[in-house]
A and B are shown apart, each in its own frame.
Chain A
Amino acid sequence: MTHRALSIRRYLPDQDQASYWQRYEVPADDSTSLLDALHYVKEELDSTLSYRWSCRMAICGSCGVMVNGIPRLGCKTFLRDLPHELRIEPLAHFPVARDLIVDMDVFLDHLAAVKPYLIEDAAVGTFDPAAPTPHRQTPAQLARYRQFANCINCGLCYSACPQFGLNPEFLGPGALALAHRYNLDSRDSGKQARMPVLNRHEGVWSCTFVGFCSQVCPKHVDPAAAVNQGKVEAAKHTLIALFKG
Chain B
Amino acid sequence: MNRPPDAFPRLPRSWWLKHRYFKAYMLREATVLPLIFFLLCLMGGLWALYRGEEAWAAWLVFMRSPLVVALNLLALAASLYHAATFFVLFPRVMPLRLGRRAIAPQAIVAGQWVGVMIIGLLFFWLFGRT
Contact = CB atoms under 8 A, between A and B. Distances in A.
Direct contact of A and B (CB under 8 A): yes
B8 A228 contact: no
Contacts of A57: none
A168 B1 contact: yes
Contact of A232 (B21, B94, B100): B94
Interface string A26-54: 00000000000000000000000000000
Contacts of A231: 93
B7 A162 contact: no
Contacts of A70: 19
Nearest to A92: B9
B15 A162 contact: yes
Interface in B99-130: 100, 102
Interface in B63-106: 89, 92-95, 100, 102
A116 interface: no
B3 A103 contact: yes
Nearest to A224: B92
A222 B25 contact: no
Contacts of B29: 208
B61 interface: no
A206 interface: no
Contact of A212 (B7, B25, B95): B25
B3 A162 contact: no
Contact of A94 (B1, B8, B92, B102): B8
A212 B21 CA distance: 7
A96 B25 CA distance: 27
B47 interface: no
A212 B22 contact: yes
A90 B35 CA distance: 40
Contacts of A169: 1
Interface in A162-183: 162, 165-166, 168-169
Interface of A: 69-70, 92-96, 103, 105-106, 109, 140, 143, 162, 165-166, 168-169, 208-212, 215, 222, 224-225, 228-229, 231-232
Given A210-B21, A225-B93, A229-B94, 13 more contacts: A92-B9, A93-B8, A95-B3, A106-B1, A106-B8, A169-B1, A208-B29, A211-B89, A222-B92, A225-B92, A228-B89, A229-B93, A231-B93
